[in-house]
Amino acid sequence: MLMPNNAISTDVVIIGAGPVGLFAVFELGLHDMEAHVVDILDKPGGQCAELYPEKPIYDIPAYPVISGQELTDRLLEQIKPFNPTFHFNQMVEGLERLPDGGFRVTTDQGQVLEAKLVVIAAGGGSFQPKRPPFPAIEDFEEKSVHYAVRRMEDFRDKNVVIVGGGDSALDWTLSLQPVVRNLTLVHRRDSFRAAPDSVNKMKALVEAGEMELRLGQVAALKGEGGVLEAITVRGADDSTTEIACDRLLPFFGLTMKLGPVANWGLNLHENLIPVDTEKFETSEPGIFAIGDINWYPGKLKLILSGFHEAALMSQAAFRIVYPDKRLVFQYTTSSTSLQKKLGVT
């Protein structure tokens, strides 16, 4: 099989530039493996950078609190010594096995990568916010209706309505309340799926008169040219209330789709990829899956779990890339060779 003229040869192709994909670059680099990273977004960070760059994350070891963007920035700083190549705004469409056992990866932009192994770190696959069934909502999207908060400053001194009862809705209620002019949380019932502590803090703000909580459902949006002026909320008793609104944030969850991954011949479990817990290899030898996209008994969808999976994956990857070399386990704190790779000696 001839190599296409534009094909790039590398050790590993990582699909997904979220936190777990970025940390995989680090673990592979410690073992002298070069990585190319493909992501459908226009920048690294995955959901952390795209959906909640300013949202605080509380369960990253050694960081009592860190934003999604700061976590991304620090991971990028950590992998600088290994100089990975990123291919943004591209989706992997084709994956085929080569005669030598390696893989040819093709993107929708025509980029061809040939590697000895492939690591799928694509989170939940391609993701998009669920559009709520509000009349004519598409007329206001990107101008007054937003499905993510990328910059809190864009909401300063605005009349903001948040719709939803899950963690995202409550988290952004608490984060935006000190910034906006008026904030109203709308939920269909007085029962929330969010963390109890967040719900208690929200209700304390309501009691203090610092925000409003309206029970009901959004029945209409009022405005022209994509500029929202007010929304109408219908209560359980069928009464309606109009609320002044410059910005509407509906949090109705995400729709996750595996996309082309579903057609790669991998065994799937409820739209996730089963892996072993020794190497995090899939049903196809040489294809690994780490992070939220994989499944195994006891799986926890946490970033720190993905970091652990990346470390074990890299051990197995070394044996594929360097079949004639012996893998020597070393600690970065004491290994001068690893410290030299990191540029800290």
Q: How does pLDDT run across 2-32, given as a tens digit for each residue?
A: 456 578 999 999 999 999 999 999 999 999 9
Contact between 133 and 250 under an 8 Å Cβ cutoff? The reply is: no
Q: Within a domain: residue 277?
A: yes
**Cα four-point dihedral sign 85, 89, 91, 95:** negative
**Same domain for 103 and 28:** yes
Rounded to a whole number of angstroms, the CA Rg of the chain reads 23
Q: How many residues does the chain have?
A: 345
Q: Within a domain: residue 1?
A: no
Give residue 78's Cα distance to chain centre. Answer: 19
**Same domain for 245 and 308:** no
Of 227, 252, 277, which closes a domain? Answer: 252
**Same domain for 259 and 244:** no
Contact between 163 and 251 under an 8 Å Cβ cutoff? The reply is: yes
Q: Examine the pLDDT at 254 and tell me if it is beyond 80.
A: no
Of 252, 273, 299, which closes a domain? Answer: 252
For residue 213, the SS3 value is strand
Q: Examine the pLDDT at 91 and tell me if it is beyond 90.
A: no
Which of the pair, 127 or 139, is modelled with greater confidence?
139
Alpha-carbon span 136 to 237, nearest angstrom: 24
Of 203, 229, 252, which closes a domain? Answer: 252
Residues above pLDDT 70, as percent of the chain? 94
pLDDT digits (tens, 9 = 90+) for 264-322: 777 777 778 999 999 999 999 999 999 999 999 999 999 999 999 999 999 999 999 99
Task: Give me the pLDDT at residue 5, please.
Answer: 59
Q: Examine the pLDDT at 158 and tell me if it is beyond 80.
A: yes
User: Nearest-CA neighbor of 97 among 256, 217, 266?
Assistant: 266
User: Nearest-CA neighbor of 74 among 26, 37, 137?
Assistant: 26
pLDDT digits (tens, 9 = 90+) for 195-218: 899 999 999 999 999 999 999 999
**Same domain for 31 and 98:** yes
One-letter identity of residue 118: V
Q: Within a domain: residue 2?
A: no
- Kindly state the helix (H) or strand (E) to which residue 174 belongs, with its residue range: helix 167-176
Contact between 71 and 60 under an 8 Å Cβ cutoff? The reply is: yes
**Same domain for 138 and 47:** no
Q: Examine the pLDDT at 324 and tell me if it is beyond 60.
A: yes
Structural domain harbouring 144: 131-252
- CB burial class (10 A; 0-12, 13-18, 19+) of residue 213? middle
**Same domain for 269 and 122:** yes
Task: Give me the pLDDT at residue 4, please.
Answer: 62
**Same domain for 261 and 248:** no
Task: Give me the pLDDT at residue 127, please.
Answer: 56
**Same domain for 139 and 105:** no
Task: Give me the pLDDT at residue 223, please.
Answer: 95
Q: Examine the pLDDT at 139 and tell me if it is beyond 90.
A: yes
Q: Within a domain: residue 67?
A: yes
Q: Within a domain: residue 179?
A: yes
**Same domain for 293 and 197:** no
Q: Examine the pLDDT at 180 and tell me if it is beyond 90.
A: yes
Task: Give me the pLDDT at residue 64, please.
Answer: 95
Q: Within a domain: residue 188?
A: yes
Q: How many CB atoms lie within 10 A of CB 107?
A: 18
- The CA-to-CA distance between both ends of the chain, in Å, stands at 44
**Same domain for 295 and 278:** yes
Task: Give me the pLDDT at residue 220, please.
Answer: 96
For residue 107, the SS3 value is strand
**Same domain for 248 and 136:** yes
What is the mean predicted confidence (pLDDT) over 135-157?
A: 91
Task: Give me the pLDDT at residue 6, please.
Answer: 77
Domain count, the chain: 2
What is the mean predicted confidence (pLDDT) over 249-271?
A: 74
Query: What CATH number is attached to the domain comprising 234?
Result: 3.50.50.60
Q: Within a domain: residue 97?
A: yes
Residue 1 banded pLDDT, cuts 50, 70, 90 = very low
Q: Within a domain: residue 292?
A: yes
**Same domain for 276 and 232:** no
